[in-house]
Structures are given as structure tokens and as C-alpha cells.
């Protein structure tokens, strides 16, 4: 069974802390994505990666960075957490073969981050 | 750029009612179209898709037809159940390259017994 896992379901951090959100997929997918989900705004793409050590900015990359050292793992980093980064964070992956146009994108269960 | 507009919710229906969630899109090429569903406390999962004009995607009693002339991909179900309560997202993928999916803002559906 296909699996995308995220390191935490719930996380509470303080303003200014460095925060790591981890995502692991076991499907050997090339493409991985980080979104944040907020009421009334839907899903917004933060960063994505087409391959190991590659990264591309999404629509809202400010205040975030990412790391992809291994194919199965894609980490989202909040260098200095702020209260406006309180949100639900969703990771997703999709195979490279056949491309995004035709394949199903698989999502993790999400991490609800609260920054105090 | 490409965009997806779907009807705002929340939508509240009684069990066995007919459901329509409207979705229209703007794209420069001929995109693939998707509906994803998010059940409470979970990530999104693919509900159905259509990859060319006039295609009909269907799954779990839900259907949507890719209408190029009206640039629409409305989601329908003839008789909703309480277990269909979820947030529904319309999305498109531009065939011109390996670009990320473009999502609508989501429509929350609540079905009451």
C-alpha cells in the first residue's frame, strides 16, 4: 500500500524556534511537494522537488526552506517560526514517469503546527 | 496563469439529496482535471480524474465530465451519505510540462442524517 508519512500530526513551537517538518514516501517517487492549508485559502504550494538535491519555489516560499538529500525524504524548514506560520502542512508525492498530468498525487496526513 | 474556481461552501445537505459542486478552470493548454477529497483529520486523496475533453471520471458514486466548451468539471452525486462529509478540491494539471497541480480553494460538504 502506498504511503506518505509525516513526522508529527501535531506540533507546538515558540516564535523564533527553528522547526523541521519531515516527510517520507515509500513509493520511489521523483516529485515531492509541501503545501500549507488554511481556511478560506485552500492549498498553497510552498516548495517542490523533482529529484534529489533539486528544489523549486512554489507560490509562498518566504520564511521556508527545504532539503532533499535522499529520494524518499523531503524536509520543510522554518528557519525562525512566526505566528503567521501557524497552519496545517501537507506533504505529497507523485511519480516522475508519466508526469504530473496523468498520475495520482499521494498526500500525507498533515502536520498541524501551532506557533505561540 | 492557470487557475481553478470552485463554489464556496459550506454546503449542507440531507442524506440522499443530490449534490453538485461547481468547478470552472482557466488554462492555456488542455489540462487534465481532478477532484480530490479530504476526510476529517486526513490528507487529500484522489476521487476521480479526466484527461481529455468529454471524458467522464467516476468513483464511489461521484461523477464529473470534462467540458471544454464551458471550461467546467462539476462534481455530482445522485444520493449523498453522511460518510461523504468532507472537503472537496478541484484541481488541474497543465500538460505543457511537469508543473505542479493547481488547486481550487475547496468546498466543505456536510451531510446530515
pLDDT tens digit sequence for B28-45: 878 889 999 999 988 999
Under 8 Å CB-to-CB from A40, ≥6 apart: which residues? B105
Q: Output the pLDDT for position B69.
A: 94
Per residue, what are the HEC states of B65-88?
A: ECECCCCECCEEECCCCHHHCEEE
Q: Output the pLDDT for position B97.
A: 54
Per residue, what are the HEC states of chain A?
A: CCCEEECCCEEEECCCCCEEEEEEECCCCCEEEEEEEECCCEEEEEEEECCCCCCEECCCCCCEEEEEEECCEEEEEECCCCHHHCEEEEEEEECCCCCCCCCCCEECCCEEEEEC
In which band, very low, low, confident or very high, does the pLDDT at A102 lie, cut at 50, 70 and 90? low
pLDDT at A101 exceeding the cut of 70 = no
| A37-49: pLDDT as tens digits | 998 899 999 999 9
CA distance B85 to chain A (A): 17
Q: Output the pLDDT for position A103.
A: 73
Q: Output the pLDDT for position A97.
A: 61
Peptide bond into B10 cis (omega under 30): yes
pLDDT at B95 exceeding the cut of 60 = yes
Cross-chain residue pair B106–A100, CB shorter than 8 Å: no
Cα atoms in the Cβ-side hemisphere of radius 13 Å centred on B66: 20
pLDDT at B57 exceeding the cut of 60 = yes
Q: Which of B52, B101, B102, B104 to mutate to test the interface with A (most CBs of A within 10 A)?
A: B101
pLDDT at B105 exceeding the cut of 70 = yes
Dihedrals φ, ψ of A45, to 5°? -80, 130
Mean pLDDT of B44-58: 94
pLDDT at A19 exceeding the cut of 90 = yes
Q: How far apart are CA B40 and CA B49, in angstroms?
A: 22
Averaged pLDDT score across all residues of chain A: 92
Q: Output the pLDDT for position B63.
A: 98
What are the chain B neighbours of A4 within 8 Å (beta carbons)? 43
Which of A73-77, A92-96, B93-97 reaches the highest mean pLDDT?
A: A73-77
What are the chain A neighbours of B99 within 8 Å (beta carbons)? 100
Q: Output the pLDDT for position A20.
A: 97
In which band, very low, low, confident or very high, does the pLDDT at B96 lie, cut at 50, 70 and 90? low
Give which of B11, B6, B3, B5 is closest to B84, Cα–Cα: B11
pLDDT at B75 exceeding the cut of 90 = yes
Q: How far apart are CA A98 and CA A31, in angstroms?
A: 12
Averaged pLDDT score across all residues of chain B: 92
Dihedrals φ, ψ of A84, to 5°? -75, 0
DSSP 8-state class, residue B101: P
Under 8 Å CB-to-CB from A79, ≥6 apart: which residues? A18, A63, A64, A65
Amino acid at each position: 500500500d502506498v504511503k506518505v508519512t509525516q513526522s508529527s500530526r501535531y506540533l507546538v513551537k515558540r516564535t523564533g524556534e527553528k522547526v523541521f517538518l519531515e516527510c517520507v514516501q515509500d513509493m520511489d517517487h521523483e516529485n515531492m511537494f509541501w503545501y500549507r492549508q488554511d481556511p478560506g485559502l485552500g492549498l498553497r504550494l510552498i516548495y517542490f522537488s523533482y529529484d534529489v538535491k533539486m528544489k523549486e519555489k512554489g507560490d509562498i516560499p518566504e520564511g521556508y526552506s527545504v532539503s532533499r538529500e535522499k529520494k524518499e525524504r523531503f524536509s520543510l524548514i522554518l528557519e525562525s517560526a512566526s505566528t503567521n506560520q501557524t497552519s496545517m502542512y501537507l506533504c505529497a508525492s507523485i511519480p516522475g514517469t508519466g508526469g504530473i498530468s496523468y498520475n495520482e498525487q499521494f498526500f500525507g496526513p498533515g502536520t498541524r503546527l501551532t506557533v505561540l | 496563469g492557470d487557475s481553478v474556481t470552485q463554489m464556496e461552501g459550506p454546503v449542507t445537505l440531507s442524506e440522499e439529496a443530490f449534490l453538485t459542486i461547481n468547478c470552472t478552470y482557466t488554462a492555456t493548454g488542455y489540462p487534465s482535471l481532478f477532484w480530490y477529497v479530504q476526510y476529517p483529520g486526513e490528507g487529500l486523496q484522489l476521487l476521480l480524474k479526466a484527461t481529455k475533453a468529454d471524458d467522464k471520471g467516476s468513483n464511489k458514486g461521484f461523477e464529473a465530465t470534462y467540458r471544454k466548451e464551458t471550461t467546467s468539471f462539476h462534481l455530482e452525486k445522485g444520493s449523498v451519505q453522511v460518510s461523504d462529509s468532507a472537503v472537496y478540491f478541484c484541481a488541474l494539471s497543465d500538460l505543457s510540462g511537469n508543473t505542479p497541480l493547481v488547486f481550487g480553494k475547496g468546498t466543505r460538504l456536510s451531510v446530515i442524517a
